[in-house]
Amino acid sequence: MAYAFLLDMSRCIGCEACVVACKSGNQLPVDRQYIKLIEHTSGTFPDLTGGFQNHRCYHCADATCVAVCPTGALFKEDGLTRLNRDACSGCGYCVQSCPYEVPVMSDGRSSKCDACASNVGAGGSPWCVTTCPAQALKYGDRDEILAEAKERVVALKDRYPKAQVYGETQAGGLGLILVLPDDPETLDIPADPPATPVVVDAWKEVVQPLSMGATVLAAAGAGVLGIIARRNHMAELREVDDKKKAGVTAGDSDTEEV
């Protein structure tokens, strides 16, 4: 079953309660946080409009970070993108390849939201969802979350004609469904993030397994052939040796005949 977050940006008041709850709930050290609120304003004073970008992992189904991760520290589970920091080698490929620029390096390893895997696994809810005072956040079955997002958008259309659901199809379908009052670009969110390049999959799914297979086959073949070939060569050496001994010490009865 796939789970997802609902993040209703028409309700987000930018209070940062989710940031705090995430940080304290996950016991993150000072330099780490999984959610960042970025304020966007446009227009010229006094005609200013603005909103908040609740920047956090989008949990892409087609997650480029998972595709490039060499150690499997990043992986998909229940429709969400998890991170096992113990397995992270700190190569930083995920930092570079995320279309949303979410993962960062912290203490030599990747750092990003893992949808409160341990808390949810123990029957709880993600910390950000538990604490949101504006009902902007929800967590549950992705189909239900998506349906609710669509309902909320319908209700918003009167006031925000450009209101829309974001995340149904982006990056293969996100595990973070956004309700946006305006176009995603107004909050610096790419309308259509680039898909995982084919060459990334080719690298991990074709080149590497084939290389491993070819090496193992070659080593095994060389092992078998090596035993045969060495036997041949030894026979050849004995022949030469015999000839030499026969030449040098002709008639020597001690010469061992092979």
- Residues binding another protein (CB under 8 A): 64, 68, 70-73, 86-93, 96-97, 108-109, 196-197, 199-200, 202-203, 207-208, 211-212, 214-215, 218-219, 222, 225-226, 228-234, 236-237, 240-241, 244
Query: Contact, 63 vs 171, CB < 8 A?
Result: yes
Nearer to another protein, 13 or 199 (CB): 199
Nearer to another protein, 87 or 117 (CB): 87
**In terms of CB distance, is 42 or 211 closer to another protein?**
211
CB-nearer residue toward another protein: 5 or 58: 58
Q: From the CB of 151, what's the least distance to another protein, in Å?
A: 36
Closest distance to another protein from the beta carbon of 90 (Å): 4
User: CB 32 → another protein: shortest distance, Å?
Assistant: 17
Element (H, E) at 166: strand 164-166
Instruction: Supply the minimum distance, in Å, between the C-beta of residue 119 and another protein.
Output: 23
Residue closer to another protein by CB (options 13, 234) is 234
Closer residue to another protein, CB minimum distance, 41 or 96 = 96
Neighbours of 81 (CB within 10 A): 27
Which tokens belong to 118?
């341990």
CB of 87 to another protein, least distance (A): 5
Smallest gap, in angstroms, from Cβ of residue 82 to another protein? Answer: 15
Q: Can you tell me the distance from the alpha carbon of 133 to that of 119, in angstroms, rounded to the nearest whole number? A: 20
